[in-house]
Chain A
Amino acid sequence: MEKKVIKKDALAGIVKKLAGQMPVYAPVQDQDNVLFKILEQGMEPMLDFGNTRNAPKNCFFPQAETMLKYFRTERGRELAGVVEGAPEAVLFGVRPCDARSFILLDYVFDDPKYKDTYYMERRRKTAIVTLACVHPPSTTCFCTSVGGHPMSSEGADIVLADLGDRYLAESLTDKGAAILKKFGDLANADDAALAKKKELSEKSEKEIKSIIPGNDIKPWLDANFDNPFWDTIHKSCLACGTCTYLCPTCHCFDITDEVKRDGGRRIRSWDSCMSWLFTQETSGHNPRTSQKERWRQRLLHKFRYFVDNYHAIACVGCGRCVQYCPVNIDIRKIVTDISKL
């Protein structure tokens, strides 16, 4: 595929221009946070940021979305319409860990038997532009321990690397090549640019100081569902759900109906396994009675069940749950502690 270079000060303008032609989701400053949002007319993306507070999964799997609408008739309530269809779009400035998360979400939403129409339409029509991490943005990054790399192009249609004075832009798919054309007339990358990227890549990997034995704990997890260790991790958990909402790979959702006078809509919204309601049955029975079972579920889903089903850990090492947990529960420490048992 194509390899081009972009002048350092030209990139923001190119993306701004692109946003005039199609929806472009990109990191923008929003009060104290950097968030993925659709670029409004004339807005430029942020290029100098660590990582966004919210994961880019919002773009394909929004926090809340209308699935279908219904209306009241004399004979009951009938379907008024299904909310489907998505425009071609670009998701710009995705960190490599988050780009990988889409490959993991695809396993769930693009299952051979059941395709999730809502996710899939946006996913298919959106090109992902990864902004490689020439320096790991945070001390909580641990992508290399769970199968990722700070300069990885996995999951990307285009990958950009900041070489200092210019960006190297590589398209990896047809979708990426088509978008790269829209970037305008760009010079071909020379050997020096490719060599520089390689050098930065090796350096960046070494700068990741947070290393956990992510791949080593599966046998212990397989054998120790009832281990007393599970009594030790959840005690301070508030069940606030922050870890699951901010996680790029968490995909659990609820379906609820909104009622207006003459009709209404069916909505899907994020849900969290950290809530007791998640598994509560009408009879009063709940298979996960305390926060202990819920924390165990969260960890086992990521490091055992997902591995059983799809041969991949459902954590990309972005560190958001570590950074934003209000009581400082640290999944890295839990995994490390387990590896010592």
Chain B
Amino acid sequence: MHTNPYVPIPVEVAKIITEVTTKDIKTFRFAFINKEDEENFNYLPGQFAELSIFGKGESPIGIASSPTQKGYLEFTVQRAGTVTSELHSMEEGTLMGVRGPLGNTWPIEYLKGKNIVVVGGGFAFTTLRSLINYMIHDDNRSQFGNITVVYGAREPGLLIYKDELALWEKRTDLALNVTVDKGDADWKGREGFVPAVCKDVAPSSENAVAVICGPPIMIRFTLPVFFDLGFSKDNIYTSLEMRMKCGIGKCGRCNVGHKYVCKDGPVFSLAELDKLTKEY
């Protein structure tokens, strides 16, 4: 293993899944080239990695797989600029690099023994998916209380991880609420915005923690719902995004106040965010 934190770990694109009808969001499964790298890549849900394509650059992307899924890593990426477009044009079998795991994690130890409410909007569902798969794994499920999930997208074709959603739907130890802003002819599920669905589902704040990720507008309207339900700022967590380069707190790019989102984040409780400058 390299001790130089800027050297990417070599991986192979093992599988590509096109998640949405607009085709601009794909999940990439990477297999490690070296067994040793695989063994050393110890991560927890909430962390991210720099996807590294020589000649194009690097992009920080949340890890969408769960550490309980052995042998590979998954990332769900929206096509945006240079690196993500190159990634989208790749085929299975291509070699590239991953630098990580980076950043902090969802507060797993703190979540243990509590009821967990997971709220996601759009494709920001990635590290939440990691968290859910981690919690419902046979080895871990008994350590968490009730698990309630609210997940929404604009339309049915934009929901990601559809096969997994179908499996979760069948489980009795997880309350799944999938919603779309506007359904189509085939849509039999819920319609409505995420904040409204949260209000409707009304998870109890008793011994509970909410973990929320999504577009800023969704977060803005969802938080008051949780405050009304009695969730304190210590018990609401979210993940921040800032432009990044190094991912290890050196290039000076991603600070919010005195915290570097790459190194001290990306996960923060609302109570922690209240203490920082509002510049993100």
Footprint of B on A, CB under 8 Å? 67-68, 70, 73, 75-79, 82, 84, 108-109, 111, 113-118, 225, 251-257, 259, 263-264, 266, 271, 273, 278-283, 287-288, 293, 297, 300-301, 304-306, 308-309
Contact = CB atoms under 8 A, between A and B. Distances in A.
A287 B280 contact: yes
Contact of B255 (A76, A281, A305): A305
Contacts of B246: 253, 255
Contact of A75 (B4, B58, B93): B93
A255 B5 CA distance: 13
B250 interface: yes
A5 to B, nearest CB: 41
Interface of B: 2-8, 10, 12, 53-58, 80-81, 84, 90, 93-97, 241-243, 245-246, 248-253, 255-258, 263, 277-280
Contact of A78 (B54, B250, B251, B278): B54
A264 B55 contact: yes
Contact of A70 (B55, B58, B252): B55
Nearest to B2: A82
7 contacts: A67-B6, A76-B96, A78-B54, A79-B54, A257-B56, A282-B81, A305-B258
Contact of B258 (A82, A111, A117, A308): A308
Contacts, number: 120
B3 A117 contact: yes
B6 A253 contact: no
Contact of B250 (A77, A108, A257): A108
Contacts of A109: 250
Contacts of A84: 4
Contacts of B53: 77
Contact of B253 (A77, A264, A279, A293): A279
B236 to A, nearest CB: 21
A255 B52 CA distance: 11
Contacts of B56: 257
Contacts of B257: 305, 308
Contacts of A252: 251-253
Query: Interface majority SS on B: helix, strand, loop or mixed?
Result: loop
Contacts of B253: 252, 271, 278-279
A106 to B, nearest CB: 12
A304 B258 contact: yes
A253 B54 contact: no
A78 B95 contact: yes
A111 to B, nearest CB: 6
A256 B242 CA distance: 18
Contacts of A287: 242, 256, 279-280
B139 to A, nearest CB: 28
A254 B4 contact: no
Among A75, A76, A252, chain B packs the most CB atoms within 10 A around the CB of A76
B249 A114 contact: yes
Contact of B252 (A67, A253, A281): A253
Contacts of A75: 12, 93-95
A113 B10 CA distance: 22
A111 B262 CA distance: 14
A152 B200 CA distance: 66
A118 B279 CA distance: 31
A281 B4 contact: no
A264 to B, nearest CB: 6
Nearest to B6: A67
A73 B95 CA distance: 9
Contacts of A306: 258
Closest 5 CB pairs of A and B: A252-B252, A70-B54, A76-B95, A305-B258, A77-B54
B5 to A, nearest CB: 5
A255 B245 contact: yes
A288 B54 contact: no
Contact of B251 (A118, A225, A253): A253
Contact of B245 (A82, A254, A273, A293): A254
Contact of B7 (A73, A79, A279, A308): A79
Given A75-B95, A305-B258, 10 more contacts: A67-B6, A77-B96, A82-B4, A108-B249, A255-B58, A257-B56, A281-B242, A282-B80, A283-B80, A287-B242
Nearest to B254: A279
A280 B97 contact: no
Contacts of A67: 6
Contacts of B251: 252-255, 271
A309 B279 contact: no
A332 to B, nearest CB: 23
B3 A115 contact: yes
B228 to A, nearest CB: 27
Contacts of B95: 73, 75-78
A250 B3 CA distance: 25
Among A114, A118, A304, chain B packs the most CB atoms within 10 A around the CB of A114
Given A77-B53, A308-B258, A309-B258, A117 B5 contact: yes
B10 A78 contact: yes
A271 B2 CA distance: 26
Contacts of B248: 111, 113-114
Among B81, B252, B263, B280, chain A packs the most CB atoms within 10 A around the CB of B252
Nearest to B56: A257
A82 B3 CA distance: 11
A297 B254 CA distance: 11
A108 to B, nearest CB: 6
